[in-house]
Structure formats: structure tokens, C-alpha cells
Chains A and B, each alone.
Chain A
Amino acid sequence: DAKTTQPNSMESNEEEPVHLPCNHSTISGTDYIHWYRQLPSQGPEYVIHGLTSNVNNRMASLAIAEDRKSSTLILHRATLRDAAVYYCILRGFSNSGGSNYKLTFGKGTLLTVNP
């Protein structure tokens, strides 16, 4: 499985933007970049995913480098409820239409949000 590298921890202030980086230099052409987050005492929660183009949804934005070897999850205005561990995961997708079933979780980035 292609691996991802994330900082162990980051800190932000409430109502400020947060940029969470992820390096994935061995990404293959069929790998999608997925982000999940895990709030304290809860199961992981899907945040966003993308392949090549930048993506936006109600939770966050995903900026993908042109060479796809890195990506950044952007929380536009951090709140205290965004304090969580954020996981960047590569998930393959075959040309035959099947997806890689397995999500391989690393240690993620622990985001602390200060009031």
C-alpha cells in the first residue's frame, strides 16, 4: 500500500483557517486521497476525498498538488469541535470499476484548537 506522511500534531486558534498537510510521494495514478477524522471517544468520520482536482464540501476543502505527491486538508474556520485526529489515506480504484476495500489508517495528525 502506498504510504502517507503527516505531522504528529498541529495547533490552531478558533475561527482561524487550518491547513493539514499530507505527503504521499509513492501515490499511484489510480489512488484516491481520502481524509477522515476521529473525535475523542468516537469512530472515524469521513471528511472528503479527491483524485486530481481540488474538492470542496460542507466540512472542508482538499487541495491536491499538481504532481499529486502531496495534499492539504483545509478547514476554513476552525472550531473547538474540529479538535480531532485527522487521517490522510490513499485508496486505490481499479480500472475494472472495483475499489480497494481497505482503509489503511496511520497515526494521523492530532489537531488542537485553542479558544
Chain B
Amino acid sequence: DADVTQTPRNRITKTGKRIMLECSQTKGHDRMYWYRQDPGLGLRLIYYSFDVKDINKGEISDGYSVSRQAQAKFSLSLESAIPNQTALYFCATSEGGNYGYTFGSGTRLTVV
């Protein structure tokens, strides 16, 4: 099993619908992140969480919300999806300190 699992892998949804992307990890890391990637661009940080009681906005949090249900689970919600939220979404985890991140395989979301 993958260290960081994202579900679903692909999703097509309609404008205005609420959608949740889920992420679970078996690394035992406290820190979890949600990133978005658009074609030709680097990854941009949406939200991050350093532990279950800690949630922080990243650089592009508008239109998104998150929930940290447990140390191992971090969900990203689009309350009312819009077409410009069509992108590839990645969840990641890390330990504290200067260790590398572990990324999931991504969720490809299309909003029509």
C-alpha cells in the first residue's frame, strides 16, 4: 500500500457541487498539506496542518476548506466547485525538521 493515499484518483463534477478529496497516510507524520498543480505551473499550497488541532491557510485557500479528522487523515473540500478549480491536487506529509515530503499520487479534478 502507498504511504500517502488519495481518493478519488479522478473526478468530474459539475459547477456548484460540493466535493471532498480525501487523503490518508501511514507514515505517522504529524504534518499534512494540500497542494494544487495547474498545467505548466509549479505546485501551490492550499492548506496545511501541523497536528490534529492545527489548520492553516496556504497561498490559495479561497474556495477551499479542510478537515483533519485524525493524525492520518486530511480532507480537502470544495464547497461550491467552479471550473477554474479544475486541476491536479496533491496531498503530502512530512515530519518536523528538515526532512523531505512524501506526496500522494494526486487527484485529477475536472469541474464542468
Contact = CB atoms under 8 A, between A and B. Distances in A.
Contacts of B106: 41-43
B42 A106 contact: yes
B42 A87 contact: yes
A8 B35 CA distance: 22
Interface in B24-65: 31, 33, 35, 40-45, 48, 50, 58
Nearest to A89: B42
A43 B70 CA distance: 23
B21 interface: no
A105 B100 contact: no
B90 A43 contact: yes
B108 to A, nearest CB: 9
B42 A45 contact: no
Task: Give the contact-size bracket for chain B.
Answer: 20 to 34
B102 interface: yes
A107 interface: yes
A34 B96 CA distance: 15
Interface string A29-59: 0001010100001111110010000000000
Contacts of A108: 42
B100 to A, nearest CB: 3
A102 B50 CA distance: 12
Nearest to B89: A43
B42 A32 contact: no
B101 A103 contact: yes
Contact of B101 (A32, A46, A98, A104): A46
A99 B90 contact: no
Given A43-B92, A43-B104, A32 B43 contact: no
24 contacts: A36-B100, A36-B101, A41-B105, A42-B106, A43-B4, A43-B103, A43-B104, A44-B92, A49-B98, A49-B100, A97-B97, A98-B96, A99-B96, A101-B31, A101-B33, A102-B48, A103-B43, A103-B101, A104-B42, A105-B35, A105-B44, A107-B40, A107-B41, A107-B42
